[in-house]
Structure 1
């Protein structure tokens, strides 16, 4: 009898070519497939909650896999001794057979972190920007996104999305010490969407784009109208929400 499990984990994306299996680099998915297969003594293929790009980090990520072996909680400690140092498992939970790490997710939350003061310990985990930014205007623009449904202007060109419709429930900037943190929550995200939004909001903060121009960028439904995407290392997947009914225990 096959059992389906969710694993909650974190990973540092610096050394990986993204989540998804790649022909030209090592991915997080490939690493987990190999380690779990070795541990369980049979082929294991995990399915992830999303497809993070190269260099993007995940403080909270979920995968599911099927096995005919009953997994115990000490499996987590054993796997953490087996995994590379930039990946850690937090817990494993048995779920219903039709539960899906990606398609059962109700919402996802990302943060983009900007360091306003040079800090070598944050180099791999933030985007360093030392210029002046109008945080108030950036938040005015960020709030506009809550009433937007079509995010074509912030979608990767030729991304082959079936739809560019997303429903945002949170979009805000906060200053925490020397850090500026943008938090965004939605039912789904398009490829490169968050980094394109952040790049455009930064140009609002720099005074390069007015609030009216920001609205026109959205209405134009054209990626070339928005600003360049910010670098990947400042982006973190921080939360994924599921209905509690998917869990067996």
Structure 2
């Protein structure tokens, strides 16, 4: 007798029109759209499990989810990428469909996640909803000094959204730095895991350094406090992108 088949789906999406990845009761999410399309395509109820949450308005250049498909008769149902994409709106695209072992898990098996945060300084209609427009140009060197200090720590309670249900606020950051782009600047960060709102809070705090409001060394005091109110603001979601998720078997 054939058993259920597990698949990983690699996708990308423009988060502008969605209230994040996770299914919401009174708002449209990416996960809801995927579940409905897959249920229609495969003619059975499908529930996907994502590699993590993204907030309202956040984008994903690379995202993974897994699902189980019940076989029809003695043969597992293969998912056709073109048919799947045809059922999705323009702002969600399926890039790959990968058969995996039954125990593979999109969230728990991920070993590294990477994000980018984009900022521009001149009004540009083509960057609206995809980068944060801010007037003052911060000091990139100061922000990179502060970013290097962030990498020395593991407990990021001060950058986490309050009242989140997680076992630990520890994360291992592999890289964190700013660089110049054609249109402005971008912050790149990779870690084994991220807390809710963490990247946007880090960016907001580093911007304070770049504007000369606090010294780079002040980052140490902020992190040691473990208090979200001591860190900078949460910058707008429009500039944030999940860019990479790594697994040991993909």
Normalising to structure 2: TM-score of the pair? 0.95
Instruction: Indicate which of 224, 229, 249 corresponds to 2:229.
Output: 224
Equivalent residue number for residue 195 of structure 1 = 200
Instruction: Indicate which of 194, 207, 214 corresponds to 1:209.
Output: 214
Equivalenced residue count is 244
Instruction: Indicate which of 44, 48, 63 corresponds to 1:42.
Output: 44
2:68 matches 1:66: yes
2:150 matches 1:148: no
Q: Comparing both structures, which one devotes a greater share of its residues to helix?
A: 1
Q: Aligned partners of 1:110 and 1:198: how far apart in 2? A: 11
Q: Aligned partners of 1:50 and 1:213: how far apart in 2? A: 30
Unaligned runs of 5+ in 2: none
Q: Aligned partners of 1:191 and 1:63: how far apart in 2? A: 18
Q: Aligned partners of 2:246 and 2:149: how far apart in 1? A: 24
Residue 71 of structure 1 deviates from its aligned partner by 4.7
Unaligned runs of 5+ in 1: none
Residue 206 of structure 1 deviates from its aligned partner by 0.5
Q: Aligned partners of 2:216 and 2:188: how far apart in 1? A: 19
Q: Aligned partners of 1:182 and 1:98: how far apart in 2? A: 34
2:7 matches 1:11: no
Equivalent residue number for residue 114 of structure 1 = 119
Consecutive aligned runs of 4 or more in structure 1 exceeding 4 Å deviation? none
Matched ranges for 1:41-190 at <5 A: 41-69=43-71, 70-72=76-78, 75-190=80-195
Q: Aligned partners of 1:12 and 1:18: how far apart in 2? A: 10
Residue 178 of structure 1 deviates from its aligned partner by 2.0
Normalising to structure 1: TM-score of the pair? 0.95
CA-based RMSD: 1.1
